[in-house]
Structure formats: structure tokens, C-alpha cells
Amino acid sequence: MIYSPNGQKWGDEGDLKTAKWMFGRVKKLNPSALEPTWYDWANDIRLMRQIDGRTHEQICGLFDWANKDSFWHQNILSPRKLRKHFDELIVRSQKPKDEPKVQVDTVERDSAFSRLIGSRSKPQNRIEEIALELAGKTGIRRMSEFSGRQAWNSIWKQATEMSQEVQQ
């Protein structure tokens, strides 16, 4: 068992083992990642098990999927974020791979990046609104231009998919 100093946060050996496995995956993405507060991570995993009814296997499986996804690998870097987005990630992870790919207009995407991120203009359509909201969550303006554009490409694709889902 692992406990916080005040005893309000805790987890069992399985929760701690899962937390350490998750952090190992985070370190592969970001070797300079700081070691987490283990009782916080174990507590979030315990809550996923006891309150949300998830198993360690389900938690690890979904974290593994998110860790490999072109968009979610940047956003799901802790048990707390995994818990927050668990249901959405389940749905996205179960999408058939053979679904038709969305068509991304690269000129529109790159133009939108310059307008929305570079000069902070207002969005002109629903895809831009969604993309700007997602970009805000990733801290894209704090990234280098190269990293920001890479992240923007994934964000734009996801925004395009989300806007098409709403239309159907």
C-alpha cells in the first residue's frame, strides 16, 4: 500500500505497479519527464477501479492505445487525464480502422494555423472553432513552430472528423 502523508490518497500494490508502468510509457515519449507523486497516481488508478469499475487491464489497455494515438499521446500523460477522458477514449479506440478517412484540405489547414495561432484571428467556421479549442488544451502557442505545426496537423484532422460526426 502507498499513502499520502495525510492518508487521504492511497492505492494498493496493483495501483502502484500500474502507475509505474504508465510512467515508463510517458518517459519513452518524454525522457525528461519529472517523476510523479506516486500516491497521487496510485489514488487516481484506485478511483478508476473502485468508483468507475475499471480493471487494471482495461486501464493499461486504454492508456496503451492513447499512448500510440497521433493526437491523444500528447494529452493523456497521467492517470488523472486518462480518467477524465476514459469514455471518450473508449469510443475513439473502438472506431473501425476501415472507416473512410476524412479529407483534409492542407491549404486551409495551414492558412488556419497562421491566422488562428500566429495572429490570433477569430475562427471562420466550425472546424476552426473545434481546432482552436483543442489547440488551447494542448498549449500549442507555447510550442516551437515545428512542434506546433505537427500538433496542429493532428488537431486539424481530429477537428475535421468531429465536425463531420456532428453533421451526420
Q: Where are the alpha helices (DSSP H) in the chain?
A: 13-29, 38-50, 56-68, 79-93, 106-112, 126-138, 145-167
Read off the pLDDT band of 98 (50, 70, 90): low
Please determine, for residue 165, whether its predicted confidence score (pLDDT) is greater than 90: no
**Helix (H) / strand (E) containing 10:** strand 10-11
Q: If you compute the radius of gyration of the chain from its CA atoms, what whole number of angstroms results? A: 18
**What's the whole-number mean pLDDT along residues 103-113?**
90
Determine contact, residues 167/126, Cβ cutoff 8 Å: no
Task: Output the pLDDT for position 139.
Answer: 87
- Report strand pairing: 2-3 vs 10-11: antiparallel
Q: What are phi and psi of 94, to 5 degrees?
A: -95, 0
Task: Output the pLDDT for position 100.
Answer: 56
Q: Where are the domains positioned within the chain? A: 2-93, 106-167
167 or 105, which is more confident?
A: 105
pTM above the 0.85 mark? no
